[in-house]
Amino acid sequence: MENQRQKFGKESESIAVKHLRKQGYKILEQNYRTKMGEIDIIAKDKKTLVFIEVKARRSHLFGNPKWAITPKKQRQISKVALYYLKVTKQTKAKARFDVVTIRSFEEKPRIDIIKNAFELAYG
């Protein structure tokens, strides 16, 4: 059974997918999971493979959602992305990391796509 946080997370990812499609992204995977972690959305933006993390907030108490992608989270996403590239035989593909932020505490949810939000992080 889902708790409120999980439900909000799924709803936020749905909103992000719809928004990304409107922006021309082609969704390839959602909730791509490995032993190393998860990537919320994997998509194509023209010829670029994009690994997307979705961060949403219901209030402004915890600040802007874009600040929730810590260096540790960046390393985890990077490892999963490298694994995905290897198993799909796309190691030469042009790729980037985007973050979709959703602020649902305003009258109408505010959605922002931060392209190239961070570089490949490992170590």
For the stretch 35-65, pLDDT in tens is 999 999 999 999 999 999 998 876 555 555 5
What local confidence, expressed as pLDDT, does residue 103 receive? Answer: 80
Cα(106)–Cα(34) distance, integer angstroms: 34
Q: Could you tell me if residue 123 is inside a domain? A: no
Q: Which domain holds residue 74?
A: 4-118
Total structural domains in the chain?
A: 1
pLDDT tens per residue, range 64-122:
556 568 889 999 999 999 999 999 999 999 999 999 988 876 677 789 999 999 988 76
Q: Could you tell me if residue 80 is inside a domain? A: yes
Q: What CATH number does the domain containing 101 carry?
A: 3.40.1350.10
Q: Could you tell me if residue 26 is inside a domain? A: yes
Q: Could you tell me if residue 54 is inside a domain? A: yes
| Buried/exposed code over 92-101 (b: 16+ C-beta within 10 A; e: otherwise) | eeebbbbbbb
Q: In what order do the strands lie in the sheet with 37-45?
A: 26-34, 37-45, 48-57, 95-103, 110-118
Q: Could you tell me if residue 85 is inside a domain? A: yes
Q: What's the half-sphere exposure (Cβ side, CA atoms, 13 Å) at 46?
A: 2
Angle at 93 between CA 87 and CA 95, to 5 degrees: 100
Q: Could you tell me if residue 51 is inside a domain? A: yes
Which position has the higher pLDDT, 14 or 20?
Answer: 20
